[in-house]
Structure 1
Amino acid sequence: MSGRISKTIAGGLFSIRPVVLLLFIAATVFLGFQASKIQLNTDIRKMVPLGHPYIQNFLEHKDDMSLGNDVRVIVAETQSEDIFNPEYMTALKEITDEVFALDGVDPSKISSLWTSNVRWNEVTEQGFQGGEVIPAGYDGSEATLEDLRTNVLRSGQVGRLVADNFQSSVVHAHLLDALGENGVDIPVLAARLEEIRATYQDKYPNVRIHIVGLAKKAGDVMAAAEEVAMFFFFTLALIAVLLLLDTRCLRSAMTVTVCSFVAVIWQLGIVSTLGFTIDPYSMLVPFLVFAIAVSHGVQIVNTLANYAAEGQTPLDAARNTFQSLYVPGMVALVSDAIGFLTLYIIDVGVIRELAMAASIGVAVIIITNLIVVPMVLSYLGVSGASVRKIQAGEKKEHPLAGLFARFTRKPLAALSIVIAVAGYGVGIYMSQDLKIGDLDKGAPELWPDPCEEMDCPRGYEPKPRYRYNHDVNFLVSNYSVSADVLVVMGKTPVESCNTYPAMQTVDDLSWTLRNVEGVQDVVTISSATKLISTNMNEGSLKWATISRDQYALNNVMSFMPDSLYNLDCSLAPVYVFLDDHKAETLDRVTAAVADFAEKRNNEEVIEFKLASGNAGVEAATNQTIEANQYPMLALVYAVVSILVLIAFRSIRAVICIIVPLGLTSILCQALMAHLGIGVKVATLPVIALGVGIGVDYGIYIYSKLAHYLKQGMDLESAYRETLKTTGKAVAFTGITLAVGVIFWAFSSIKFQADMGILLTFMFLWNMIGALWLLPALGCFLLKPDAARARQNS
């Protein structure tokens, strides 16, 4: 029945070839124009699981809290012993002014030695004294510089705004509402920060600038977008050359390459028309669309050339090619599209947009490659050299046939299945070490700082690919604060955040967290109260406690930093500074907070809620991915299995196609665990998308194998014939795509290099699994007589 449907569709489409091709050209022109308007975007809202309880808790208090979207500009002195010299302080003042003027920066929340909100205070015999850290009448003289040094020591900012070794200081700026409708323009902000770095490092040779923050990290990733495009076009050119060498036909190689590239244009055009943008994580999608399109295009050219070698005219060869590949091609592409859509269950904007973009891209391949490629070749035909190559190959055994056909024999088939079972076992065992989230310090999307493993000189200027993580390490090594902050929200009744029961509970939580591995420090309203009480009582440590006298606590609040409570004193945030944002660290800290909250939360006193800060976002994202990764993968396989079952009406077909695919997924997870690559926003889609590419191989091979079995051939003979045509195309596609993406390992973006390694493995292993394990399974599952009986029925 499917054969009659394919024949009818082929007849109808090929009878109106000129109309179809004209519509194709018109659509390409329109969508090409739309694609030119696509924008690169890193809206932080797309990177946050907005439905997660942590983020919902933050949104409830977003007017009083920050999501951790801030920037620290660290100005380091490289020549003098410390920062207390006129040239450094002049540079710091000018840089502070530059940061203050940046678009997207909240001008009310900037801290530097030159801002009025950074003050010192002390208790003397005459009472309280205090003032701005920069002395009144500062003129750069030795006397005012010595006053500045004294004020810094009295300010409590050593380790926070001033380095522990006094060789650098920080300009700390909070950005405007990251989740608001008018978010920060991250690329522009990151570019301006780089301009500040370049300008003042040139102007002041004694100064080196380090910049840390979520926006800067995202900006650095986006700045490498041009390089990602370069890798894409290099891969495109390489695949075109290899395709030409394999087919020995310029017209068919160019047809497949151009139509596959047009699929990318259509995908970007449709995405742009729908109002979507692309981000650093979805930049993988255009290549995957191109790869899948090439995979199907190679099958079409290979089949058409074989028909041409039998003496058919270009039109007949093209029509028969479409007719024979329509069903397996449609099944494979629909499986890919629906499989990619399963990523949508993960409540992270970038992943959901990636799922939509990938599904759209695969859907358009049905037109650009499955329909248009054979139509174009119906006019162009294939070269005589390509036909002669196929005719010569028919007279001798193909290398693939000699290598893989033997796996249809029971002894080797049984051994292969045993090896596959062992592979499943080893993969499952090794993948137990697979972690959720980041496994490295700093920004794992970018390359680690070489100075972590070597003693870099003072003032060392790293290469751009290492710069951000070098800056993070500089902050962590020289300051008592960390770039990774988890904020716990302590909600109290109005005007009750400074009551003794609330403060004491906060203090108990602080003590608990300080004893959790991975916590550097905890800053709270209670810790500030102890310090202020001490200062108010001649510095006596006996007073480093929380008074039970409410009047004393009210008096303390007049000196309390406003970042430690909100306007109506109904929120007391707990700032937890972490060693890093590794998954294990976040799990330990959030578990400790959740356990404490379960035991001590009291609506009448204080309730602790997780979480804000950049580490809070990371924790929410990790938990979202952990909860959905296996359901998502199970849904992918369920969808693919159902579609294969519908297409071939055989459980045996499902087993033969899915088992090799599952082995690839398991081994890929084992490889990730071995290489220290965690499951996160950047890598989770690769696992799902690899399934989509791999299923194409199995469907095409099984379809051709079933065709020969229905003709009455024994399994080994049928598989030999399959390897001469479809099998050869699968091998070429797998090797070519793997060669194309292996060069991603040289990318300046580490997560692209990681994806290149994973995709190379998946392309090759999916190919091997389809060519080796599928026939071994078929040896015990497929029977030629049964296949022929089904055909006759």
Structure 2
Amino acid sequence: MADRSGLDPRKSPQWRIPELSNPDRTTSAQGVDRGWRGRAEEYFEAWGYFVVRHRWPASIFSIFVTLWLVSFLPSLTIDNSTESFLRVDDPAVLAYNEFREQFGRDDRIIVSIETPDPFDLEFLERLRELHDAFESEVPFVEEVESLINARFTRGEERGLVVGELLEKWPETEADLAIFRERVLSNPLYRNSLISADGSVTAIVVTPETFSPESPANDELSGFGDGEGARDLAPIYLKAAEGDRVITALYDVMDRFEAPDFRLHMAGALPMTHRINVGMQRDLGRFLPATLLLMCIVLGLLFRRVGGVFLSLMVVVLSLVATLGVMIILEIPGSTAVQILPVFLLTVGVCDAVHILAIVYRFRMEGMNERDSIARALAHSGLAVLMTSVTTAVGMASFITAEMAAVMHLGILAPIGVALAFVYTMVLLPSLLAIFPLPAPRHGRIAEGVFPFESFLVAAGSFACRSPWRVLVPTSGLIVLAVLGALQTTFSHNGLSWFPEDDRTRLDFESIDAQLGGSVSLDVVIDTGAAGGLYEPQLLTEIDRLTLEIENLAIEPIVVGSTLSILDIVEETHQALNENRPEMRRIPDSREAVAQELLLFENSGSDDTEELVDSEFRMTRINLRVPFVDALLFPGFLEDVSSLLDRRLEGRADYRITGLMTLLAQIFDAVIVSMGRSYVFAIGVITPLMMLLLGSLRRGLVSMVPNLIPIVGVLAVMGWLGLAIDTTTMLIGAMVIGIAVDDTIHFMHKFHRYFEESGDLEEAVRETLRTTGSALLFTSLVLAAGFSIFGLSEMANIRIFGLLSAFAALLAFIADLLVAPALLAVVEGHRARRAQAKSAVADG
């Protein structure tokens, strides 16, 4: 086709372009058949011409599909609850859900009140007002318990009375003294409603177990254990509903807060709410900062408004389309999915940069708009496709994770990468055809951006000429890195994500110190027979078990409080025996236990529903411990399990559940998921590289530079004492998928030029001259994009972003120096062997 400028770009001394429309397109200058890669480039060229011809339908269709997906965005939800970190079919989650359906929520909200004297009449008046405000103003609350309405069981002439602690409001100092004695002498209140030293009191708020939208709300609450209830799928209290609970609690607390009335709140829902709020704040910072950064980088690269606008339009539309797919798939936002927007923006911009950079270069060399678009797709389309595939595979490795949030990222990220590729191949060329770019007046694109191109070429030439001067120091650094990587540890502690002066963190630390913690552990004991819990011997064994579990706890795990059916049995027995303290014990016979529990239930209290099933076959032992690093929980749970095996063998079955088991499972899942993702990513990408490069040898060589960033990141974490958690575990497999992108662009071009020239150093020089600037800028874009996470208020996200940025830069350096050096050694060895064979054959 005639070129408008009258120049033949094939004769340009600045750029050698294989003639894509030549019938011998798949044969290189030296007669080497380029096979499927050459044919693929022809297909991309043909596709480019097709899109240019149908630019308006392509643009309209792309935008229409995007708008349809955008229409789902109002339904976006966020869920960072503890159970949401795990798969719905995880045994720990199934056991936890079964427990909740039987006994209700275990993760109660604790609000502590610091005051000079909790037994002062004025304080009690304020406590009653706060209690009433919680009951009347906070939605989705099942029960509010405090010293105002705490259960008080006593015996009177008329029989057993189960009432409220402050049924009769104290009016005199004598009344307050009696009230104080009752509170401090009752072990049921200790570290539950009053601290052990009597200086801090608490209000315990129990949220609804099920959402009002749950079809099984009535059947599954309380004692709904019939067949009909089992057939209905319950909807537990939703994340948004839980956030409304915490928001309302904070509103009330802020109104009552005073210097002599200091309020703190802890529990699973406050932690979830804090993470959700942090996510929303971060996204409000990340997206504008990322878009601004992209504008700056693209402006520096292209020096054209059109280049900036078209690139951003493509990546933003691919991002919102991905979010629409996310909602269609009913995937909620989470700390893992939080990285998706910035990740897709940076990856999508890199795709657009590789295409636009070549379009600009061709336009600079005089090619017309139509041909420059088609030739650009032919030149870089295959490489962009390959990088999209490997990036998608790297992120798809997270599908194997045992953590639901990470698995969701493994589903969405490949979809987003695929959409970014489709938009780059469809929308970008169609927009370029509708809004043609003028030829650059200056030679920035053709000559390389700033002075970097000459530096990149010189570095690659050095690595080719002196490979061992690169590989030997690199090997030494790798050894040091491996030593550092061996120092890495694992962790899962949500509190450590927040600043030391963060309200939520301070609240948890205060309640842990004063009331023994907010993390629940439940041991469910099943006797296997109706009425099995009436046996005094079994109840005595449960009492011993509770004490022994408390003794198993070692700092910082300390059992702050316990609750079981024993509390009701013992307090009822005491009340029926003239309220004598020495009679707070288990009755001697099965009949006495059964009769006294029946009297308790007939008194009007339904508190047994939280502790036993309707047949008195199953019961729970509830323990509360501080919120500490989850790495401490698995060992403690193993000790508890061993103890239960010994004590209950042949007598009853048991299962351990509660918030602690979920946190422990998350900790184990981090280790397993990280290992699986690494094996999957390396195991799939390595043969894929061999296939894409058409060489076993070059495929293996290409993986070496891609493993260096992973070792480097683990080394930094090990030497700096940074633990691997649910967020930083994502870096490895993600970096493999991203680092390989630069390698593919480098190896793809190197393969072409090496086949054409047969000169390794010349092939490296030409590769870096034509692709080096784009590789540098895409690496800088990735590093800068990930650095945006440094703006997060949560430490785990900041660490993730900075380490990912470091890995992106390290990957570029490895491709610039290590890849050419390895190629020089491997290809040089191959050439020497070929020469030796040739000499022997000639001789």
Letter in 2 for 1:449: E
- Alignment correspondent of 1:689: 734
1:752-773 alpha-carbon deviations (Å, 9 max, x no partner): 2232223222222222222222
- Structure-2 separation of matches of 1:574 and 1:424: 51
1:403 pairs with one of 456, 459, 483:
459
1:416-452 alpha-carbon deviations (Å, 9 max, x no partner): 43444444444444334434441x4x634x41434xx
Do residues 470 (structure 1) and 500 (structure 2) align? no
- Alignment correspondent of 1:567: 614
1:710 pairs with one of 724, 737, 755:
755
Q: Does the 8 Å CA contact 2:155/2:575 hold for their aligned counterparts? A: yes
Report how far residue 113 of structure 1 moved. Answer: 1.4
Report how far residue 586 of structure 1 moved. Answer: 0.6
- Alignment correspondent of 2:669: 624
- Alignment correspondent of 2:181: 150
1:380 pairs with one of 436, 450, 456:
436
1:677-723 alpha-carbon deviations (Å, 9 max, x no partner): 54443333343323222221111111112222112253233222222
- Alignment correspondent of 2:639: 592
Letter in 1 for 2:186: S
- Structure-2 separation of matches of 1:576 and 1:302: 62
- Alignment correspondent of 1:112: 146
- Alignment correspondent of 1:550: 590
- Alignment correspondent of 1:456: none
- Structure-2 separation of matches of 1:297 and 1:578: 52
Do residues 134 (structure 1) and 173 (structure 2) align? no
Do residues 327 (structure 1) and 399 (structure 2) align? no
- Alignment correspondent of 1:737: 782
**TM-score scaled to structure 2, two decimals?**
0.81
2:652 pairs with one of 606, 609, 615:
606
Q: Does the 8 Å CA contact 1:103/1:189 hold for their aligned counterparts? A: no
Could you list the runs of 5+ residues in structure 1 that have no partner in the other structure? 451-465
Do residues 53 (structure 1) and 118 (structure 2) align? no
- Structure-2 separation of matches of 1:552 and 1:728: 86
2:246 pairs with one of 170, 176, 193:
193
Letter in 1 for 2:254: Q
Report how far residue 472 of structure 1 moved. Answer: 0.1
After superposition, the Cα gap between the structure-2 partners of 1:402 and 1:538, relative to the gap in structure 1 and judged at 3 Å, is farther
SS of residue in 2 equivalent to 1:161: coil
Q: Does the 8 Å CA contact 1:344/1:351 hold for their aligned counterparts? A: yes
Report how far residue 142 of structure 1 moved. Answer: 4.4
- Alignment correspondent of 1:449: 500
Question: Greater shift after overlay, 730-739 or 680-689?
Answer: 680-689
Report how far residue 342 of structure 1 moved. Answer: 2.6
**TM-score scaled to structure 1, two decimals?**
0.86
1:171 pairs with one of 191, 203, 221:
203
Do residues 182 (structure 1) and 213 (structure 2) align? no
1:221 pairs with one of 272, 275, 300:
275
Letter in 1 for 2:652: I
- Structure-1 separation of matches of 2:743 and 2:514: 55
After superposition, the Cα gap between the structure-2 partners of 1:724 and 1:572, relative to the gap in structure 1 and judged at 3 Å, is same
Q: Does the 8 Å CA contact 2:285/2:791 hold for their aligned counterparts? A: no
- Alignment correspondent of 1:305: 360
SS of residue in 2 equivalent to 1:523: strand
Report how far residue 666 of structure 1 moved. Answer: 2.8
Report how far residue 592 of structure 1 moved. Answer: 0.8
- Alignment correspondent of 2:129: 94
Question: Greater shift after overlay, 482-491 or 128-137?
Answer: 128-137
After superposition, the Cα gap between the structure-2 partners of 1:576 and 1:274, relative to the gap in structure 1 and judged at 3 Å, is closer
- Alignment correspondent of 2:415: 360
- Alignment correspondent of 1:779: 824
Do residues 523 (structure 1) and 569 (structure 2) align? no
- Alignment correspondent of 1:417: 471
- Structure-2 separation of matches of 1:536 and 1:677: 58
After superposition, the Cα gap between the structure-2 partners of 1:443 and 1:653, relative to the gap in structure 1 and judged at 3 Å, is same
Report how far residue 731 of structure 1 moved. Answer: 1.8
- Structure-2 separation of matches of 1:289 and 1:216: 30
- The 5 Å alignment of 1:194-273 reads 194-202=247-255, 205=258, 206-224=260-278, 225-273=280-328
- Structure-2 separation of matches of 1:765 and 1:404: 15
- Alignment correspondent of 1:662: 707
Q: Does the 8 Å CA contact 1:485/1:615 hold for their aligned counterparts? A: yes
1:3 pairs with one of 32, 35, 38:
38
Report how far residue 362 of structure 1 moved. Answer: 0.5
SS of residue in 2 equivalent to 1:384: coil
After superposition, the Cα gap between the structure-2 partners of 1:565 and 1:130, relative to the gap in structure 1 and judged at 3 Å, is closer
- Alignment correspondent of 1:63: 101
SS of residue in 1 equivalent to 2:804: helix
- Alignment correspondent of 1:462: none
Question: Greater shift after overlay, 731-740 or 211-220?
Answer: 731-740
1:451-483 alpha-carbon deviations (Å, 9 max, x no partner): xxxxxxxxxxxxxxx11111101101211x311
Report how far residue 172 of structure 1 moved. Answer: 1.0
- Structure-1 separation of matches of 2:361 and 2:619: 74
Q: Does the 8 Å CA contact 2:364/2:439 hold for their aligned counterparts? A: no
Letter in 2 for 1:208: R
- Structure-1 separation of matches of 2:728 and 2:197: 39
- Alignment correspondent of 2:219: none
SS of residue in 2 equivalent to 1:520: coil
After superposition, the Cα gap between the structure-2 partners of 1:86 and 1:547, relative to the gap in structure 1 and judged at 3 Å, is closer
- Structure-2 separation of matches of 1:191 and 1:67: 17
Q: Does the 8 Å CA contact 1:322/1:371 hold for their aligned counterparts? A: no
Report how far residue 295 of structure 1 moved. Answer: 1.6
Report how far residue 729 of structure 1 moved. Answer: 1.7
2:531 pairs with one of 482, 486, 495:
495
- Structure-2 separation of matches of 1:65 and 1:423: 56
Do residues 25 (structure 1) and 80 (structure 2) align? no
May I ask how many residue pairs the two structures share in their alignment?
758
1:539-576 alpha-carbon deviations (Å, 9 max, x no partner): 99987876764355556756796344333222232334
- Structure-1 separation of matches of 2:720 and 2:616: 48
Report how far residue 296 of structure 1 moved. Answer: 1.6
Q: Does the 8 Å CA contact 1:121/1:154 hold for their aligned counterparts? A: no
Question: Greater shift after overlay, 555-564 or 377-386?
Answer: 555-564
1:306-357 alpha-carbon deviations (Å, 9 max, x no partner): 3333332232222111012122211111222233223122243322222221
SS of residue in 1 equivalent to 2:636: helix
Letter in 2 for 1:62: R
- Structure-1 separation of matches of 2:475 and 2:672: 27
- Alignment correspondent of 2:546: 510
Letter in 2 for 1:96: H
- Alignment correspondent of 2:5: none
Question: Greater shift after overlay, 762-771 or 370-379?
Answer: 370-379
Report how far residue 289 of structure 1 moved. Answer: 0.9
Letter in 1 for 2:446: I
